[in-house]
Chains A and B, each alone.
Chain A
Amino acid sequence: AQSVTQPDIHITVSEGASLELRCNYSYGATPYLFWYVQSPGQGLQLLLKYFSGDTLVQGIKGFEAEFKRSQSSFNLRKPSVHWSDAAEYFCAVAIPGFQKLVFGTGTRLLVSP
């Protein structure tokens, strides 16, 4: 069965600094890949997704992610973090033709002044 690993439970970044959140998946072929953000008391919001083609995908709020097949990774990046980016970030995969998403355990981002 497919699985998603987010090795960092918490990350603290200074406001204005760059950010990279790690995500690795386990699946024999290339799944569909997603990053979601969850703020306290809010639903999950889609930041970006990868299906095929260009391995660098752009998302909302200045986020981007790069798919690396050789490393089975889909890391999320942002060049300059804002205090409002503090939230929980979830990587997820979906197998083409199947409906459910499989989520990682999440990374909580803290932004220091």
Chain B
Amino acid sequence: GAGVSQSPRYKVAKRGQDVALRCDPISGHVSLFWYQQALGQGPEFLTYFQNEAQLDKSGLPSDRFFAERPEGSVSTLKIQRTQQEDSAVYLCASRYSQGATNEKLFFGSGTQLSVL
């Protein structure tokens, strides 16, 4: 596709429900990132994939958060037993190369999660 695609665009969940957020990176992009952006804050790193390998998950806030990228393309961020503090915009980003930290990241428009 032309850019990074995320779905759904909006998600409302009741507290305690599980949610799954999808990211379709740009075709051929090796690196994929998930960020969490709370209201009025900058994005915060959650996790990083290189192809299908999850190389860094240091930003995941709890064991309720789980991300996968089984075939090295589409990625899913899953949040179990959602809490109100999980309400945020979840951003996905991809990059063509694997190691070039200075290379441009392409961001999706995000999924806005509201937990009631």
Inter-chain contact total with CB atoms closer than 8 Å: 61
The answer to whether B31 and A99 have CB atoms under 8 Å apart is: yes
Question: Do A32 and B102 form a contact, CB below 8 Å, given A100-B56, A100-B59?
Answer: yes
Chain B's interface size range is 20 to 34
Chain A contact residue count (CB 8 A cutoff) = 26
Cα–Cα distance between A82 and B106 once the two chains are bound (Å):
24
The answer to whether B101 and A99 have CB atoms under 8 Å apart is: yes
Cα–Cα distance between A32 and B109 once the two chains are bound (Å):
24
B106 contacts which chain A residues (CB < 8 A)?
Answer: 43
- Shortest C-beta distance, A74 to chain B (Å), equals 14
The answer to whether A99 and B48 have CB atoms under 8 Å apart is: yes
Which A residues between 57 and 77 are near B, CB-CB below 8 angstroms?
none
B110 contacts which chain A residues (CB < 8 A)?
Answer: 43
- Shortest C-beta distance, B37 to chain A (Å), equals 9
Residue from the list A36, A42, A45, A49 in contact with B102, Cβ < 8 A: A49
Closest to A50 in B: B102
Cα–Cα distance between A105 and B3 once the two chains are bound (Å):
25
A and B contact pairs by CB, cutoff 8 A, 6 listed = A43-B4, A43-B107, A44-B107, A95-B101, A96-B101, A106-B41
Give chain B's interface residues, CB within 8 Å of chain A: 3-4, 31, 33, 35, 40-45, 48, 55-56, 59, 91, 93, 101-102, 104-110
